[in-house]
Structure 1
Amino acid sequence: MQPQRLGPRAEMGPICLGCSHRRPYPPIRNPIKLYKETFYFHFKNLPYAKGRKNTFLCFEVNGKGCDLPVSLRQGVFKKEGRIHAELCFLYWLHDRILKVLSPGELKVTWYMSWSPCNRCAEQVAGFLATHHNLSLAIFSSRFYYKGDPSHQQMLCRLVQEGARMAAMDLPEFKKCWDKFAYNDGQPFTPWERLYKNFRFQDSKLQEILRPCCILGPSSYPPTPSDVCLITCLPETRFSVECSQMGWLGEEVFYLQFNNSHRVQPVQPYLCYQLEPSNGQEPHKGCLLNKKGKQHAEILFLDKMRSMELSQATITCYLTWSPCPNCAWQLAAFKKDHPDIILRIYASRLYFYWRTAFQKGLCSLWQSGIQVDVMDLPQFTDCWRNFVNPRRPFRPWNGLEKNSWRLQRRLRRIKESWGLQDLVNN
């Protein structure tokens, strides 16, 4: 076992639940499987679930560098007296595996009927901070007190200590049914509105976890901010591959990037992908601003200048085309960095009939920045890179017609200012 070390935020919890528990605790029993009725009742991902006062935790443990016995690889925990299922698992893991087998790297996956409460999340985070050979992925059917700021902060703390979190979708429910339920060989039968409920739970989780992607691990606890920088930092060790989550939720994307003629009030979002010329991995991020604060384009420029780029290709997807001030600053950045290829695609045109806004667009073209309206290929690419790469993009009614209409307006603006000869690179 790797030596236990005091993590950067381990002062919020015990160094090791097993080692620091001074009083003898009752033996932790882990039932092997769930009854069918228990599974369907407790794992149903309802937005508001009543009468489900227990939490069931189905786990998988895989070891790298050691061969775990079959009996230790998977099981089910529930609340034992006053000890919640999460802490039951940690006591069991400490006594049955960490103290006995001295394994190398351990990969643990939880499938939970409820996400951890704030006290359990704090204890689990402290455990992760002192056991660096342990990685934890948590799939939750529902999120416990998702509107409570204290619970939200503790879920963020879990992610900042390396835990990966996601809402349970159909594949996870099927896996739980096959591995952890007495199913009598019957296939899993999805309940009504399972997928719609998943989208609701998934969007709530993304709202909760957004601050930890903004601030990084050293900024706990998160504080409210009028300007949000939504970009997953390497230090958070947050992985998209084990979840359906991207930078934007599906409902957020369909609302904010919808290019219909009449839309609900939309916030200015800017999603960017930077491809360095040296062959390194692309860098992605998403920014938004709120009224009275710096615009997303200015935050984007601050980010680019801090990276000291020389050559790169940058593609930006915006909900609105830039205002005059942002356009001029983008143009100045391009002139200062002639070797950077910058492409801007906007879902809608912002005050396109006003002269100042048209001049701003002209300054972008004249500086060599490609400016265009998002069409189906751009919406699809934005979806794949910033929303959900595992699910296909479903266009809304009139998407291509609206794009064609906006492209025609943009072309007329270009022609009215005598810039029709400027061709996008």
Structure 2
Amino acid sequence: MPLALKKRLPEYEFYREFNNTTRSFKTLLCFSLNRENKTLWDLWGYTYNDPCQSHAESIVLKEIERFFKENHPDTVQKYKLTLYMSFSPCYKCCESLANFLKSEERIDLHARASKLYFSQNSSNQKGLQQLKHLGVSLKVMDKEDFQDCFYLFVNELKQFEEWPDLEKMSVDYSAALEAILNQTLLHWRAVHFTQIPLVTLIMQRTTWPLTTITETGRLRVKLHTNTALKMDGLAVLKELKGSFLLKIKKKDLNLYTPFG
């Protein structure tokens, strides 16, 4: 689909693509560009990714580059670029955004995503971390963001209708994004859990901070997929293959001691 400039997004498309409890096979992106301290937008619209051609982020960036070239705006003037996305950007789009920001230092980017795009993919994680390093405001959309997006890009005269589990999924995605943006890689060879018989866990990576629930004689590891593995004693070694993500709370630090 071509870029729709200064056009309202159809209501049914908004609810279909931005619903954070369902999956979609395309990315919808609504954007606005305005001068710093100015309310009125200089450029706005929406677009979808073009399969096998261009991603939605690249389509918008090309349009902004064209706008700057044709209108010859003051290079000192600061601009705010706001993106409302049905999915967070993939690694390649993160790179495109990063390169654009490096060449256009006048841009202050604010990105709001309804869902995370393959958040366990290490390349996508690195891309999001790169954007954070460049000062991009990255956020998972909550109810207020959905309301703002609906008001600004769909219909300012109608009330946004919340779908079931919107807030629950927003909290879950927010926790996952926070973990990605703040993760610390730990290279521990082994861990001893004081409440469990000596268990040697071969770990290459640990994502921080996440969640661990401990019980006497048993360790429960809660994964991103909202499933849980119950591991007893040395039997844990049969459950693990290669690297894995162990969710930890800082308050549980006293439950384990790295050694070796």
CA distance in structure 1 between the aligned counterparts of 2:132 and 2:105, rounded to whole angstroms: 14
> Which of 19, 30, 49 is the matching residue for 1:44?
19
CA distance in structure 2 between the aligned counterparts of 1:61 and 1:155, rounded to whole angstroms: 21
CA distance in structure 1 between the aligned counterparts of 2:80 and 2:55, rounded to whole angstroms: 21
Q: TM-score, normalised by structure 1?
A: 0.44
5 Å-filtered alignment, 1:79-118, equals: 79-80=49-50, 82-97=53-68, 100-103=72-75, 104-118=77-91
> Which of 169, 172, 192 is the matching residue for 1:200?
172
Query: 2:241: which partner in 1?
Result: none
> Are residue 225 (structure 1) and residue 186 (structure 2) matched?
yes
5 Å-filtered alignment, 1:147-166, equals: 147-166=120-139
Q: Secondary structure at the match of 1:145?
A: coil
RMSD: 3.4
Query: 2:105: which partner in 1?
Result: 132
Contact 2:33–2:82 (CA<8 Å) still a contact in 1? yes
| Structure 1 residue ranges without an equivalent (≥5) | 1-26, 215-223, 228-246, 271-286, 295-425
1:242-264 deviation per Cα after TM superposition (whole angstroms, max 9, x unaligned): xxxxx967xx4xx67x9x99997
> Are residue 34 (structure 1) and residue 5 (structure 2) matched?
no
CA distance in structure 1 between the aligned counterparts of 2:85 and 2:59, rounded to whole angstroms: 13
Q: What percentage of aligned pairs have identical amino acids?
A: 24
Query: 1:292: which partner in 2?
Result: 258
Contact 1:268–1:288 (CA<8 Å) still a contact in 2? no
> Which of 261, 269, 294 is the matching residue for 2:250?
269
Question: Which structure's relative contact order is higher, taking Cα pairs within 8 Å and 6+ residues apart?
Answer: 2
| Structure 2 residue ranges without an equivalent (≥5) | 189-207, 221-246
CA distance in structure 1 between the aligned counterparts of 2:65 and 2:186, rounded to whole angstroms: 39
Change (3 A) 1:289 1:122: farther
> Which of 120, 127, 143 is the matching residue for 2:93?
120
Q: Secondary structure at the match of 1:144?
A: coil
Change (3 A) 1:288 1:199: farther
Following superposition, the deviation at residue 225 of structure 1 comes to 2.1
5 Å-filtered alignment, 1:53-92, equals: 53-64=25-36, 70=40, 72-80=42-50, 82-92=53-63
Counterpart AA for 2:103: T
Count of residues paired in the alignment: 211
CA distance in structure 1 between the aligned counterparts of 2:128 and 2:14, rounded to whole angstroms: 24
Change (3 A) 1:28 1:75: closer
Query: 1:368: which partner in 2?
Result: none
Counterpart AA for 1:194: L
1:143-194 deviation per Cα after TM superposition (whole angstroms, max 9, x unaligned): 11111111111111111122121110000000011111146x2201100011
Counterpart AA for 1:97: F
Change (3 A) 1:118 1:262: same
Contact 2:57–2:93 (CA<8 Å) still a contact in 1? yes
Following superposition, the deviation at residue 79 of structure 1 comes to 2.1
Following superposition, the deviation at residue 126 of structure 1 comes to 1.4
1:51-82 deviation per Cα after TM superposition (whole angstroms, max 9, x unaligned): x22211112222138x69x5624322222461
CA distance in structure 1 between the aligned counterparts of 2:216 and 2:8, rounded to whole angstroms: 53
Query: 1:363: which partner in 2?
Result: none
CA distance in structure 2 between the aligned counterparts of 1:131 and 1:108, rounded to whole angstroms: 11
CA distance in structure 2 between the aligned counterparts of 1:196 and 1:292, rounded to whole angstroms: 34
CA distance in structure 2 between the aligned counterparts of 1:119 and 1:225, rounded to whole angstroms: 26
Following superposition, the deviation at residue 135 of structure 1 comes to 1.3
Change (3 A) 1:72 1:225: same
1:262-313 deviation per Cα after TM superposition (whole angstroms, max 9, x unaligned): 997695626xxxxxxxxxxxxxxxx99964169xxxxxxxxxxxxxxxxxxx
Q: Secondary structure at the match of 2:59?
A: helix
CA distance in structure 2 between the aligned counterparts of 1:136 and 1:263, rounded to whole angstroms: 45
Change (3 A) 1:290 1:33: farther
Following superposition, the deviation at residue 29 of structure 1 comes to 4.4
Contact 1:267–1:288 (CA<8 Å) still a contact in 2? no
Counterpart AA for 1:92: E
